[in-house]
Chain A
Amino acid sequence: MRVQRGLAEMLKGGVIMDVVTPGQAKIAEDAGAIAVMALERVPADIRRDGGVARMSDPEMIEGIQAAVSIPVMAKARIGHFVEAQVLEALGVDFIDESEVLTPADEAHHIDKMKFTIPFVCGATNLGEALRRISEGAALIRSKGEAGTGNIVEAVRHLRSILGDIRKITQADSAELFAWAKLLDAPLPLVQEIAETGRLQVPLFCAGGIATPADAALAMQLGAESVFVGSGIFKSDDPAPRARAIVEATAHFRDAHIIAKVSRKLGAPMTGIAMDEINQRYAERGW
């Protein structure tokens, strides 16, 4: 557990970028990504194409592992523990049990305690985050709404998770039982939060980041790193945007630096408003 959460600790203050080819992985590494997420289609394309989205082709993941020296992550479907076994066999550094792929199990997530490789899972609220931690997740990210280029859902999820943590630190010991029931989460984890004032594992932001200011917004709200999915390689000019998001994430409280790096980036991905989508990925997960 210490080794798994330790890698999550090393990833703080950085940007994890979705890539679909070794060439994109190189661009991401050159831009200062702390890790890449290897997948066949970015969420915006999964959304456009429809159908069942699955784990990526192992050969494609290996191609990306060979192209870069930074950690490589890959996605397994919710509950699809065999996809996770395959990813562990490939030696990926982190597995994302992801709602962006089509769920394989409508009631159960993967028993992540059985794996050596650390897992990251999405959450929309604190109860979901604590259920994933109790299953063995070493890292939690907001779900946001992937593939939309719209930060509004990620902001909602971060505010919900961090707001409830702040409230729990004010609760007395009797109220913690009610909190555990309300959140549908294990009592010992709720009690631990009351004591420490923080989640047991790092909390990152994912889902809808398209600009340097989006990344800094997530960080100022309390995220400790950001995942950028479609936001980089669906924009007009990926390399400078990737570098700018890396700088804005490191200097997230410095508006002068964010202003400086936000210049001349070309157009961001177009983005979609929430009432224009018919499938909310964030609703996947139990």
Chain B
Amino acid sequence: MGARIGVLALQGAFAAHAAALQRLGVRADEVRVAGDLAECDALVMPGGESTTMSQLLETSHLFDPLAKRIADGMPVFGTCAGMILLSRHIADGRPDQRSFAALDIDVQRNAYGRQLDSFETEIAVQGFDRAFHAVFIRAPRISRIGSEIETLATYDGKPVLVRSNTVMAASFHPELADDDRVHQLFLNMVQG
């Protein structure tokens, strides 16, 4: 278990992700500036406010170094706002909001509604022998998915957990589930 996993810690649920990774026995380091990123072999991008995060990525001079690492094949896992930032196109995002276009998906922000419409449900994940408890909070919806992208779980007919060779994304929050199987799936990708 030599891999060092970074957790983007500019804003959002980074502490819950770091706790999940530590339960799986890997080292999880908070990433706030380019120097932190350089020391990581893989990165988790947590949920939070995608508008705030994309702005802080710019002001913290982290957007371009991170885009380069992703292009070079560093494994990345984005949940909720993290998934929004990894997508190719953001519907209802801010006009100045940039994304990494690391996954060939389009997403719609807050598509499931406001907090009153947030919910939790059991979903089937490909390869899991029992259901996974998925928490959706002001969640984004994947509105288009490229043919190269693998769908690992769906809810209501829409993909909610997807991956390419090096990038995985979830519209729900596995870090809130007390069940680390989705994080383990990402570690399997990291360790190849």
Q: A residues within 8 Å of B by Cβ?
A: 2-3, 6-7, 9-14, 29, 32-35, 69-71, 88, 91-94, 116-118, 224, 243, 246-247, 250-251, 254
The reply to whether B49 and A14 form a contact with Cβ atoms under 8 Å apart is yes
The reply to whether A9 and B32 form a contact with Cβ atoms under 8 Å apart is no
Closest B residue by C-beta to A253: B32
- Scoring B residues 4 to 21 as 1 if CB is less than 8 Å from chain A, else 0, what string do you get? 000001111111100000
Enumerate 21 A-B pairs (CB-CB under 8 Å) in ascending A order.
Answer: A3-B119, A7-B138, A10-B12, A10-B47, A10-B48, A12-B12, A13-B12, A14-B52, A34-B48, A34-B49, A69-B109, A71-B138, A91-B115, A91-B116, A94-B115, A116-B116, A243-B59, A247-B60, A250-B10, A251-B32, A251-B33
The reply to whether B115 and A117 form a contact with Cβ atoms under 8 Å apart is yes
B173 at the interface (CB under 8 A from A): yes
What is the CB-to-nearest-CB distance from A262 to chain B, in angstroms, rounded to a whole number? 14
The reply to whether B116 and A70 form a contact with Cβ atoms under 8 Å apart is no
B56 contacts which chain A residues (CB < 8 A)? 32, 246-247, 250
The reply to whether A2 and B60 form a contact with Cβ atoms under 8 Å apart is no
Q: A35-B49, A69-B110, A247-B56 are known; give 11 further A-B pairs, CB within 8 A.
A: A6-B176, A9-B13, A9-B47, A10-B48, A69-B92, A117-B115, A246-B52, A250-B10, A250-B11, A250-B60, A251-B33
Closest A residue by C-beta to B15: A12
- Scoring B residues 79 to 119 as 1 if CB is less than 8 Å from chain A, else 0, what string do you get? 01100000000001010000000000000011000111011
B16 contacts which chain A residues (CB < 8 A)? 9
B184 at the interface (CB under 8 A from A): no
Task: Give CA–CA (A71, B119) in the complex, Å.
Answer: 16
The reply to whether B52 and A33 form a contact with Cβ atoms under 8 Å apart is yes
Q: Kindly list the 10 A-B residue pairs having the minimum CB-CB distance in the complex, ordered from nearest.
A: A93-B115, A13-B11, A34-B49, A32-B55, A9-B13, A32-B52, A3-B118, A14-B11, A6-B137, A250-B10
A118 contacts which chain B residues (CB < 8 A)? 115
A94 contacts which chain B residues (CB < 8 A)? 115
What is the CB-to-nearest-CB distance from A98 to chain B, in angstroms, rounded to a whole number? 18
Task: Give CA–CA (A6, B118) in the complex, Å.
Answer: 10
What is the CB-to-nearest-CB distance from A263 to chain B, in angstroms, rounded to a whole number? 14
Closest A residue by C-beta to B32: A251
The reply to whether B176 and A117 form a contact with Cβ atoms under 8 Å apart is no
Closest B residue by C-beta to A29: B51
B120 at the interface (CB under 8 A from A): yes
Pick from A6, A11, A29, A94 the residue with the most CB of B within 10 Å.
A6
- Chain B contact residues (Cβ within 8 angstroms of A): what range? 35 or more
What is the CB-to-nearest-CB distance from A16 to chain B, in angstroms, rounded to a whole number? 11
B190 at the interface (CB under 8 A from A): no
What is the CB-to-nearest-CB distance from B142 to chain A, in angstroms, rounded to a whole number? 18
The reply to whether A93 and B11 form a contact with Cβ atoms under 8 Å apart is no
Task: Give CA–CA (A93, B112) in the complex, Å.
Answer: 13
The reply to whether B59 and A12 form a contact with Cβ atoms under 8 Å apart is no
- Scoring B residues 110 to 135 as 1 if CB is less than 8 Å from chain A, else 0, what string do you get? 10001110111000000000000001
Q: Choose among B13, B59, B173 the residue that contacts A247 (Cβ–Cβ < 8 A).
A: B59
Within 8 A of A (CB), among B1-43: 9-16, 32-33
Task: Give CA–CA (A91, B116) in the complex, Å.
Answer: 6
The reply to whether A11 and B48 form a contact with Cβ atoms under 8 Å apart is yes
Knowing A10-B12, A10-B13, A12-B11 are in contact, say whether A69-B94 is a contact too (CB < 8 A). Answer: yes
A93 contacts which chain B residues (CB < 8 A)? 114-115, 138
Within 8 A of A (CB), among B160-192: 173, 176
The reply to whether B48 and A254 form a contact with Cβ atoms under 8 Å apart is no
A6 contacts which chain B residues (CB < 8 A)? 13, 118, 135, 137, 173, 176
Knowing A69-B51, A69-B109 are in contact, say whether A9-B11 is a contact too (CB < 8 A). Answer: no
What is the CB-to-nearest-CB distance from B17 to chain A, in angstroms, rounded to a whole number? 10
B80 contacts which chain A residues (CB < 8 A)? 10
Task: Give CA–CA (A117, B135) in the complex, Å.
Answer: 15
- Scoring B residues 149 to 168 as 1 if CB is less than 8 Å from chain A, else 0, what string do you get? 00000000000000000000
The reply to whether A2 and B176 form a contact with Cβ atoms under 8 Å apart is yes
Task: Give CA–CA (A213, B94) in the complex, Å.
Answer: 28
Task: Give CA–CA (A14, B15) in the complex, Å.
Answer: 13
Closest B residue by C-beta to A243: B59
Task: Give CA–CA (A37, B27) in the complex, Å.
Answer: 37
What is the CB-to-nearest-CB distance from A67 to chain B, in angstroms, rounded to a whole number? 13
